[in-house]
């Protein structure tokens, strides 16, 4: 009983910091070919100053500094909470260009790896022991800093953040991508899961969800391995050379990452709902696993999978989508193989430790209007040239561009805040604690949050955003020259690949999450690989400066174009008389979501009265129409007082979508229009209160959430509808 199109099944190569691609809106708001478009795009004087300030060599220098040089100066790796020096350095760069900077410190729970091991014992008593080591490459200087704790002081071992310390041993079962339905299918096939270790492949749900599902099925440990099936045709099996010789995946690459139960709560697990100060009271975490887990490369997963072949049900006969991967000579059988066992050990050190968000501010003339640009700074590895330092490098270059514009005497109308978040990787910790501290202030002032995390990991621009930001995303995208093919803008390339309405719904997996669930318009900017581009070694030592400058973005031209995009975006957000938010598009989008909900309920023969949502959307559409009419008039009359009122309505209306108790037992996820799916972690569900209750078979709860969702849409509609200043609309406008 699944709401197929609402529960967005995650696609290939999906990771935190990467984006999902499954939800296809049916409506077309934008014309792809602008017959009157000139090329190159025509920019005004300020836009030209900003765009011209961008320099690929300068971005390359920032990238090198973040992902290589820090190390060589022995400043150390930048796993969350490590290295205040890099935070201070980032603040110094922003300050050079006119930002007033500070470090916001929080004391959060994190854990760090001490000892990890995994051994396979065959029936005949011989063993295979995993090394958990990625290749040290002559070509790639930072890989040697990461191979062994004892050889090199800065290595970051292969481990899972927030994983459970403990041992597990016994027979094991291959569980596909570890979705709930994968486990259901195994039980239907008669596979005994209790007391066994789960062997899951990466892809699909957030890795913490895989571990949670294993735990909920009585399993005692989890191994999560990378599978080249997510690399499409760029594989050694298809004749492509592996990194560092070519663009295919290095077989030893390991995906580190957090195993927090992200779809339950983000942020510090010991301070749910309030900021982590040094003396804050601490809760016992409820969203962390109590079975150990470890990540593994495909080359080391291969013998472990092979030992299952011939036992249980073979992969073809399991009948689950995305079950069979592409590791050579493996049949992806379920197992268990009687008497063949794994023994795993995971020792982590728990700490309450300081983390540092860098904050940089340029005051605008309107104190009650603020736009925030954020990117995280912590990485799982030495390097992190894509995740997060393509974003880190771009944000410094953005600060530099605004510095150039400030020198001309320009001042922003709205306040600009830059943020370099710490501890994103463990569970969006830095950004969530910051939002929890400043949420009343943010709800009064925040116009939008612009996130950049993996700014560049491939050649295709890729955005997820709240509906009110789609229009500006398109209009700014049409101003940027994208360097893949001749005479194409960033918007052209995005829509060539993703279609005419190319923007995804925000789920979770990066620092926009706390903002979206505070009712703040948000966009996640970045790029993706596409089918033919070099494989991105996500959360691996091979996400390095060498890989970036040799394979992903030689010449840093994509960095430059993406940075120009984010810069012009921010410029219009803080500069335009009429704030470039488009509330009416929420009406169009919600209409599509509603129709999907309706047809899905029908297809599974559920009778649930959802007309209240339908009616609420209609009311919202009317408010948005009135809002647009008045905004057009105020714009043509240049009536600044009315424009200010309307700007505030555009800023505030989406706060109405919040429900303080959250949806269906998830108080963190307050937004009733979209939230990450409980069983996906990354990918969004639409009208989460309703659709998750239907999935759980709880129709009384679903009916309750129909009302709550409708009320939330009406609350947004009330905030948006022109009040006093709008009287007289329909006839001659009365504008005081
Ligand atoms: C293109 O420009 C012409 C002449 O200015 C105008 O009539 C037409 O509406 C424009 N077309 C589009 C699609 O904007
Ligand atoms: C034990 O069994 C494994 C798997 O069948 C095999 O690869 C290995 O060679 C065997 N070892 C010995 C010593 O027979
Ligand atoms: C891989 O190549 C085949 C044959 O050229 C093609 O049909 C298929 O779509 C490709 N797959 C991907 C993911 O690009
Ligand atoms: C794996 O599948 C292939 C093709 O069906 C088959 O020839 C082979 O025997 C299988 N291997 C095992 C160990 O079951
Ligand atoms: C866990 O496993 C490790 C390595 O096999 C071993 O050294 C340690 O004693 C074990 N701990 C417990 C509590 O069994
Ligand atoms: C910005 O404005 C705030 C509040 O008015 C003030 O406290 C702060 O000092 C100003 N910052 C700068 C950099 O001017
Ligand atoms: C791209 O635009 C330039 C300048 O307008 C023009 O000279 C060139 O022919 C165009 N190239 C293509 C492939 O359209
Ligand atoms: C910057 O771009 C120019 C022109 O494409 C290129 O020659 C140069 O090597 C690039 N700089 C870096 C550091 O990649
Ligand atoms: C829904 O009901 C129709 C007609 O009664 C039936 O044909 C169909 O199989 C049912 N679908 C499901 C998913 O139960
Ligand atoms: C609109 O009015 C403001 C002052 O209220 C003025 O600064 C601005 O130049 C005017 N814009 C236009 C397009 O007339
Ligand atoms: C300032 C600071 O925190 N420096 C630390 C950076 O990381 C290295 C190694 O991890 C530490 O030794 C430094 O103290
Ligand atoms: Zn990231």
Domain chopping of the chain, boundaries: 39-109+351-575, 111-349, 584-735
351 lines ligand 6 (CB under 6 A): no
Question: 343 C-alpha to center of ligand 2: Å?
Answer: 18
pLDDT band at residue 83 using 50, 70 and 90 as cut-offs:
confident
270 lines ligand 6 (CB under 6 A): no
Report the alpha-carbon distance of residue 720 to residue 731 in Å, rounded.
Answer: 20
* Backbone φ/ψ region at 427: left (φ over 0), alpha (ψ -120 to 50), beta: left
Report the alpha-carbon distance of residue 539 to residue 382 in Å, rounded.
Answer: 10
Average pLDDT over residues 668-690: 93
Question: 730 C-alpha to center of ligand 3: Å?
Answer: 56
Closest residue CA from atom 9 of ligand 11: 76
Average pLDDT over residues 181-191: 98
Q: What is the pLDDT of residues 383-419, one digit of tens each?
A: 899 999 999 999 999 999 999 999 999 999 999 999 9
User: What pLDDT is stored for residue 726 in this prediction?
Assistant: 43
- Ligand 4 atom showing the smallest separation from residue 331 Cα: 1
Question: 182 C-alpha to center of ligand 12: Å?
Answer: 27
Q: What is the pLDDT of residues 123-162, one digit of tens each?
A: 999 999 999 999 999 999 888 875 333 344 445 679 999 9
User: What pLDDT is stored for residue 85 in this prediction?
Assistant: 87
Closest CA to 125 of 343, 345, 344, 341: 341
Taking the CA of 2 as reference, the closest ligand is 9
361 lines ligand 6 (CB under 6 A): yes
User: What pLDDT is stored for residue 118 in this prediction?
Assistant: 97
Average pLDDT over residues 567-594: 98
CATH of 584-735, one of 1.20.930.40, 3.40.50.1480, 1.10.10.10, 3.40.1710.10: 1.20.930.40
CB distance 480 to 567 below 8 Å: no
pLDDT band at residue 484 using 50, 70 and 90 as cut-offs:
confident
Report the alpha-carbon distance of residue 145 to residue 367 in Å, rounded.
Answer: 46
Residue 37 has pLDDT above 80, yes or no: no
Closest residue CA from atom 10 of ligand 10: 638
CB distance 505 to 464 below 8 Å: yes
User: What pLDDT is stored for residue 22 in this prediction?
Assistant: 37
Q: What is the pLDDT of residues 509-552, one digit of tens each?
A: 999 999 999 999 999 999 999 889 999 999 999 999 999 999 99
DSSP H/E element including 257: strand 257-258
353 lines ligand 11 (CB under 6 A): no
Closest CA to 271 of 121, 127, 436, 55: 436
Taking the CA of 330 as reference, the closest ligand is 4
Q: Give, rounded to a whole angstrom, the gap between the first and last alpha carbons of the chain.
A: 55
Q: Of 424, 425, 436, 692, which one is the catalytic site residue? A: 424
Question: 33 C-alpha to center of ligand 1: Å?
Answer: 12
Closest residue CA from atom 14 of ligand 3: 531
**Residue 349 designated active-site:** no
User: What pLDDT is stored for residue 485 in this prediction?
Assistant: 79
Question: 363 C-alpha to center of ligand 6: Å?
Answer: 6
User: What pLDDT is stored for residue 583 in this prediction?
Assistant: 98
The pair of three-digit structure tokens given for residue 156, joined into one six-digit string: 């970051």
Task: Compute how many other C-beta atoms are within 10 angstroms of the C-beta atom of residue 169.
Answer: 15
- Ligand 5 atom showing the smallest separation from residue 343 Cα: 5
309 lines ligand 4 (CB under 6 A): yes
Average pLDDT over residues 206-232: 97
Report the alpha-carbon distance of residue 361 to residue 416 in Å, rounded.
Answer: 6
Ligand 2 binding pocket, CB closer than 6 Å: 122, 124, 126
Question: 696 C-alpha to center of ligand 4: Å?
Answer: 38
Average pLDDT over residues 62-81: 68
77 lines ligand 11 (CB under 6 A): yes
Taking the CA of 332 as reference, the closest ligand is 4
User: What pLDDT is stored for residue 205 in this prediction?
Assistant: 94
Q: How many CA atoms lie within 13 A of 624 on its CB side?
A: 24
User: What pLDDT is stored for residue 72 in this prediction?
Assistant: 44
Question: 334 C-alpha to center of ligand 2: Å?
Answer: 20
Question: 25 C-alpha to center of ligand 1: Å?
Answer: 27
From 122, 305, 329, 339, the mutation candidate for ligand 2 (largest count of ligand atoms within 8 A of CB) is 122
Closest residue CA from atom 9 of ligand 6: 363
**Non-local CB neighbours of 500 within 8 Å, separated by 6+ positions:** 28, 30, 31, 32
Report the alpha-carbon distance of residue 325 to residue 178 in Å, rounded.
Answer: 13
User: What pLDDT is stored for residue 6 in this prediction?
Assistant: 38
Q: What is the pLDDT of residues 250-282, one digit of tens each?
A: 999 999 999 999 999 999 999 999 999 999 999
Question: 554 C-alpha to center of ligand 3: Å?
Answer: 25
pLDDT band at residue 581 using 50, 70 and 90 as cut-offs:
very high
Taking the CA of 548 as reference, the closest ligand is 8
**Non-local CB neighbours of 252 within 8 Å, separated by 6+ positions:** 133, 134, 135, 297, 299, 300
- Ligand 3 atom showing the smallest separation from residue 532 Cα: 14
Q: What pTM, to 2 d.p., does this model score?
A: 0.93
CB distance 402 to 362 below 8 Å: yes
39 lines ligand 7 (CB under 6 A): yes
User: What pLDDT is stored for residue 19 in this prediction?
Assistant: 37
User: What pLDDT is stored for residue 492 in this prediction?
Assistant: 93
Q: What is the pLDDT of residues 688-735, one digit of tens each?
A: 999 999 999 999 999 999 999 999 999 999 999 997 544 444 433 444
Closest CA to 535 of 298, 330, 295, 200: 298
98 lines ligand 6 (CB under 6 A): no
> What is the full DSSP assignment across 86-131?
HHHHHHHHHHHTT-EEEEEEEEEEEEEEEEEEEEEE-TTS-EEE--
Give the CATH H-level superfamily of domain 39-109+351-575: Zn peptidases (3.40.630.10)
pLDDT band at residue 3 using 50, 70 and 90 as cut-offs:
very low
CATH of 111-349, one of 3.50.30.30, 3.40.50.300, 1.10.760.10, 1.10.3720.10: 3.50.30.30
Taking the CA of 539 as reference, the closest ligand is 12
Q: What is the pLDDT of residues 306-343, one digit of tens each?
A: 999 999 999 999 999 999 999 999 999 999 999 999 99
- Ligand 7 atom showing the smallest separation from residue 39 Cα: 5
pLDDT band at residue 466 using 50, 70 and 90 as cut-offs:
very high
- Choose the weakest-confidence range: 3-7, 71-75, 161-165, 372-376: 3-7
486 lines ligand 7 (CB under 6 A): yes
363 lines ligand 6 (CB under 6 A): yes
Question: 458 C-alpha to center of ligand 8: Å?
Answer: 18
Calculate what percentage of the chain has a pLDDT beyond 70: 90
Residue 2 has pLDDT above 50, yes or no: no
475 lines ligand 6 (CB under 6 A): no
Closest CA to 518 of 433, 419, 436, 616: 436
Shared fold status for 111-349 and 584-735: no
Report the alpha-carbon distance of residue 237 to residue 235 in Å, rounded.
Answer: 5
User: What pLDDT is stored for residue 70 in this prediction?
Assistant: 55
Burial class, 702, CB count within 10 angstroms (exposed 0-12 / middle 13-18 / buried 19+)? buried
Residue 26 has pLDDT above 60, yes or no: no
> What is the full DSSP assignment across 397-420?
HHHHHHHHHHHTT---SEEEEEEE
Average per-residue pLDDT in the chain?
91
Closest residue CA from atom 10 of ligand 6: 363
Calculate what percentage of the chain has a pLDDT beyond 90: 83
Taking the CA of 316 as reference, the closest ligand is 4
485 lines ligand 7 (CB under 6 A): no
Report the alpha-carbon distance of residue 343 to residue 332 in Å, rounded.
Answer: 20
User: What pLDDT is stored for residue 501 in this prediction?
Assistant: 82
User: What pLDDT is stored for residue 734 in this prediction?
Assistant: 43
Closest residue CA from atom 10 of ligand 5: 167
């Amino acid at each position: 009983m699944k709401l197929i199109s609402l529960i967005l099944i995650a696609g290939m190569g999906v990771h935190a910091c990467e984006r999902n691609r499954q939800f296809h809106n049916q409506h077309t708001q934008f014309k792809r070919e602008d017959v009157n478009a000139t090329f190159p795009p025509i920019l005004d004087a300020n836009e030209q100053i900003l765009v011209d300030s961008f320099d690929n060599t300068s971005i390359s220098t920032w990238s090198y500094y973040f992902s290589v040089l820090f190390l060589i100066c022995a400043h150390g790796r930048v796993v969350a909470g490590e290295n205040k020096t890099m935070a201070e350095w980032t603040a110094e760069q922003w300050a050079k260009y006119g930002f007033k900077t500070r470090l916001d410190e929080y004391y959060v729970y994190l854990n760090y790896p001490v000892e990890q091991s995994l051994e396979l014992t065959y029936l005949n008593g011989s063993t295979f022991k995993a090394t958990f080591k990625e290749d040290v490459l002559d070509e790639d200087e930072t890989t040697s800093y990461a191979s062994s704790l004892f050889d090199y002081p800065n290595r970051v071992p292969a481990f899972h953040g927030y994983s459970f310390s403990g041992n597990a041993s016994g027979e094991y079962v291959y569980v596909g991508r570890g979705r709930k339905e994968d486990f259901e299918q195994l039980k239907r096939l008669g596979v005994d899961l209790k007391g066994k270790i789960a062997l899951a492949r990466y892809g699909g749900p957030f890795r913490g969800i895989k571990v949670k599902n294993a735990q909920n099925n009585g399993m005692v440990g989890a191994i999560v391995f990378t599978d080249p099936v997510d690399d499409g045709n760029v594989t050694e099996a298809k004749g492509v050379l592996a990194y560092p010789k070519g663009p295919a995946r290095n077989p030893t690459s390991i995906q580190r990452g957090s195993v927090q139960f992200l779809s339950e709560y983000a942020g510090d697990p010991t301070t749910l709902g309030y900021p982590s100060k040094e003396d804050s009271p601490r809760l016992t975490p409820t969203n962390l696993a109590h079975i150990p887990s470890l990540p593994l490369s495909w080359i080391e997963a291969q013998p472990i999978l092979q030992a299952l072949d011939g036992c249980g049900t073979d992969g073809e006969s399991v009948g689950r989508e995305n079950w069979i991967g592409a590791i050579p000579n493996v049949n992806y059988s379920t197992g268990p193989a009687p008497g063949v066992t794994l023994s795993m050990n995971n020792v982590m050190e728990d700490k309450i430790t300081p983390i540092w968000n860098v904050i940089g501010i340029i005051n605008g003339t309107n104190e009650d209007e603020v736009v925030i640009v954020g990117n995280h700074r912590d990485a799982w590895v030495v390097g992190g040239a894509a995740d997060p330092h393509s974003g880190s490098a771009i944000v410094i270059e953005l600060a530099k561009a605004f510095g150039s514009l400030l020198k001309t005497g320009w001042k922003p109308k709205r306040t600009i805040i830059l943020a370099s978040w710490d501890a994103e990787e463990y569970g969006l910790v830095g950004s969530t604690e910051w939002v929890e501290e400043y949420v009343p202030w943010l709800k009064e002032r925040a116009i939008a949050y612009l996130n950049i995390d993996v700014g560049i990991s491939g050649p295709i621009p890729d955005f997820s955003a709240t509906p009110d930001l789609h229009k500006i995303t398109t209009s700014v995208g049409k101003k940027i020259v994208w360097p893949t093919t001749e005479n194409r803008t960033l918007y052209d390339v995005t829509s060539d690949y993703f279609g005419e309405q190319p923007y995804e719904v925000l789920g979770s997996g990066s620092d926009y999450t706390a903002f979206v669930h505070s009712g703040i318009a948000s966009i996640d900017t970045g790029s993706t690989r596409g089918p033919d581009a070099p494989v991105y070694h996500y959360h691996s030592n091979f996400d390095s400066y060498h890989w970036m400058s040799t394979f992903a973005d030689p010449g840093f031209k994509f960095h430059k174009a993406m940075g120009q995009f984010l810069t012009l975006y921010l410029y219009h957000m803080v500069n335009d008389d009429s704030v470039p938010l488009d509330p009416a598009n929420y009406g169009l989008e919600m209409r599509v979501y509603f129709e999907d909900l309706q047809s899905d309920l029908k297809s599974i023969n559920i009778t649930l009265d959802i007309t209240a949502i339908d009616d609420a959307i209609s009311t919202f559409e009317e408010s948005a129409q009135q809002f647009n009419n008045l905004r057009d008039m105020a714009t043509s009359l240049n009536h600044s007082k009315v424009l200010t009122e309307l700007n505030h309505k555009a800023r505030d209306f989406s706060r109405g979508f919040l429900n303080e108790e959250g949806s269906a037992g998830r108080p963190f996820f307050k937004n009733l229009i979209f939230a990450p799916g409980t069983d996906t972690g990354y990918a969004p569900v639409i009208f989460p209160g309703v659709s998750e209750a239907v999935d759980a078979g709880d129709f009384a709860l679903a009916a309750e959430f129909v009302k709550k969702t409708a009320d939330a849409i009406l609350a947004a509609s009330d905030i948006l509808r022109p009040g006093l200043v709008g009287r007289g609309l329909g006839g001659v406008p009365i504008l005081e």
